[in-house]
A and B are shown apart, each in its own frame.
Chain A
Amino acid sequence: AQSVTQPDIHITVSEGASLELRCNYSYGATPYLFWYVQSPGQGLQLLLKYFSGDTLVQGIKGFEAEFKRSQSSFNLRKPSVHWSDAAEYFCAVVGYSSASKIIFGSGTRLSIRP
C-alpha cells in the first residue's frame, strides 16, 4: 500500500538558516510526488511537484526538493528561511494506479526562531 512518512513532527530553525524537511514514501513504481504548505486556517498551496525527468525540482518561494529513488525519499530544502515560512508542510504521493487519491504524510510543523 502507498504511504508517506514525515518523521519530524515539529522543527524549529533560526531565520536565515537552511532547512531540510524529510519525506519517505512507499510505492512499488515511480510515484508522483508533491510538497504542499498550509498556513493556519488556510488551505493547501502547492510548493512543487515531481512527475518525471530531473530529480531536483524547483518550486515557489525558493523551495526545492530532490527525488532519490534509492532512498525512497523526496526531501524539501530551502537555503535560507524567512519568518513567513512558518507553517505546516505536507509531503504527498499519488501513484499510476490511482487516478484519485493523494496520500498525505502527517505533516511537519515549521517554526522560525527570530
Chain B
Amino acid sequence: NAGVMQNPRHLVRRRGQEARLRCSPMKGHSHVYWYRQLPEEGLKFMVYLQKENIIDESGMPKERFSAEFPKEGPSILRIQQVVRGDSAAYFCASSQGPMNTGNQPQHFGDGTRLSIL
C-alpha cells in the first residue's frame, strides 16, 4: 500500500510533554498538509508544506506547534508542552501539486489519535 502513512496511530502524553507526529506522503507527492479534528467536528487546516518550505501556516496555533518537511524523511508535526486541549486526531494529507492547479486531490492518512493525560 503506497498510501499516506502516519505514525504512531495512537499517542498518549502527559501534560507538559512533547508530542511528535510523523507523516510519510504518497510516493511522488511533494506537498503535505496537516489537519486537526476535534471530537464531533470536521477537520481544520493547520499547515501546508512542500519539501523544506512552509507554504501556509495560517491554521497553526501561534505557540507550541511547529511543523517541518525535510529534504529527506517524513514530515513532522511537533507539539511542545502539551495541554489537555491538544487531545484530537491529527491527519496528514499529501498531493502531487498545489490544490488549485487542476486535478490534484489530497490523499489522507489514517491519522494519529493524541490523548493528553
Contacts and interface: CB of A to CB of B under 8 A. Distances in A.
Partners in one complex: yes
Interface residues of B, number: 30
> SS class of chain A's interface: helix, strand, loop or mixed?
loop
Interface centre among B45, B103, B107 (most CB of A within 10 A): B45
Given A43-B91, A100-B33, A51 B103 contact: yes
Contacts of B110: 41-43
A90 B108 CA distance: 13
A100 B98 contact: yes
Contacts of B41: 106-107
A96 B102 CA distance: 10
A15 to B, nearest CB: 25
Interface in B86-106: 91, 93, 98-103, 105-106
Contact of B45 (A34, A95, A102): A102
Contacts of B117: none
Interface of B: 4, 6, 33, 35, 41-45, 48, 55-56, 58-59, 91, 93, 98-103, 105-111, 113
